[in-house]
Structure formats: C-alpha cells, structure tokens
Amino acid sequence: MSSVTAADYGWIRSSSSSSLFRYALEVGYTLTLVRGVSPTAVFGSVRAEPRGVCVGLGELVEEHGEFLEDWDDWPESSLVGAFTVPGDGGDWTLVLDLGGDLGTRPGFMAALSVGTRAVSHSSNGGKPMHFFHWYENGELRTTFESDAVRTGSTPDDLNALIGEVGLNPHGDDAPDVDRKAAVFALTERLTGLRVTEELLRDAEYRLGEVPEGPAEEWQGVTIDITDAHGERTYVRVERDQL
C-alpha cells in the first residue's frame, strides 16, 4: 500500500507560475476519480454536451475563463475536463470540474460507483468548505468536511488512513498539516493514483459542458461557528434528528 502523506502534495500550494492548480483552489473545484468508467460514459451519465479536447491544465483554465465570459450572470452549467490514467485495479477516469459541484452530487456519485469505486474531493473557492466523499458500489461509505466529524455507512473505516496521511480523526489536526494536501494523499491511498502537477499540466482533457444538477432532497444541516477566541463549534444534524 502507498505510504503517501500530506507532505507529498505540497505542490498544490506552490507559488511558482506553473502551479495552475491554484486557479482551481481560487474558483472552486471538484476532482473525481472513478475506476473502470470511461470519460465518455461519465459525460453520458450527466448528459454533458461535448466541447472538444484541450491539452494541459493551462488550456483548460483558458477554456474555463472563456466559458464564464459567455454568461451574463453565474453560469447554469459547468465546464468539465476528463482523462484516463492507470491506478489500482485498472484504469481510472479523473474528472476535474472547475467552479462546479459534479463530484458532490449524491445521485451522480452513487450511480457512477455502481460495481466500482469513486472518490471525490472539492472546494467551493472563497468560502472555507472542503468536502471528501468515498463511494463503493453505489454506497456512500465515508464523507466529511472536518475529518473529525464523519458520516456515511462506514464513517470510521478510513480512520487509520486518515491518521497516516497527517490528519486526526479524533480531534483537531496538527496546525502545520495542510488539510487539502492530506485529502489528496487520502484519495491516493484509495485509488493508487498519484495526482501530480505534471499529470494535470500535460494531460489531454476531453471537455464537456455539464448542466446544473437537479435539487437534491436535503439530508441534514451543518453548524460550523468559530468564536472571537478561536474556539470552533462543529455540529452535523441529520434530517431524522430534527
């Protein structure tokens, strides 16, 4: 098994001009990995409109900027790039949705993972909301925003891996650990796929325009408050508890 940790993903915060992933962190993104499902099948499952091909993350960022210019207000769809790369158990499709929520849609992820595994993580850009999802054969096994507050059918199954990549499933994370880098490392532990700056920079992306997803029936609410003294209160209340 891979021994990757958060330290192996320090490149996502690089100040170098080549660190194009900084754009994804700024505008928001979802990065989804699914085993054994082609980009064509992924796009077909969400009725994405094909938008051609681009080479490299730099071109994808340019395409995304032009895509946003076509909308007078906030777009009602998102531009998604996908390509296939080897990982544990065969080929995986990597789907990068800039500014969109594709990898956080429960219906899409459940259907995508039937008979296989799908893992996604995301950020909504300016607001401090970062999610992780692990699906196995149509079932949401573990999901979290704070790694110490997990839900899913098996919320504790990843506790050992969460600790090994640098997080703390039982309390506050160490202040010097980059939580986003740690989530990249956790994703690699589950997929065997190392996402590098070079991989994203040089890949040939198949592009698709994904329509806005249907409204999902809400399942619960999260209360996340930090007071003036830096004390954080984080509570997840499920719908059946209300």
Contact yes or no for 213/69 (Cβ under 8 A): no
Contact yes or no for 130/114 (Cβ under 8 A): no
Is 238 among the domain residues? Answer: no
Instruction: Give me the domain span that covers residue 44.
Output: 6-217
Is 232 among the domain residues? Answer: no
Q: Which letter does DSSP use for residue 227 in this model?
A: -
CA distance 22 to 205: 18
Stretch 94-120: mean pLDDT, rounded?
93
Is 201 among the domain residues? Answer: yes
pLDDT tens sequence across 13-30: 876 545 667 888 888 899
Instruction: Give me the phi and psi of 84, to 5 degrees please.
Output: -110, 140
Placement of tokens 């192996």 in the chain: 8
Instruction: Give me the phi and psi of 158, to 5 degrees please.
Output: -100, 5
Q: Which residues of 131-162 are buried (b: 16+ CB within 10 A; e: fewer)?
A: bbbbbbeeebbbbbbbbeebebeebeebbebb
Is 71 among the domain residues? Answer: yes
SS3 at position 213: coil
What is the predicted pLDDT for the residue at 71? 72
**CA nearest 83: which of 110, 60, 113?**
60
Is 117 among the domain residues? Answer: yes
Is 234 among the domain residues? Answer: no
User: In this predicted model, which residue has the larger pLDDT, 213 or 173?
Assistant: 173
Is 122 among the domain residues? Answer: yes
Is 206 among the domain residues? Answer: yes
Instruction: Give me the phi and psi of 239, to 5 degrees please.
Output: -60, -40
CA distance 215 to 178: 32
Mean pLDDT of the chain, nearest integer: 84
Contacts for 217-222 with beta carbons within 8 Å, 24 or more apart?
222/145
Total domain count, the chain = 1
pLDDT tens sequence across 65-80: 888 887 766 667 888 9
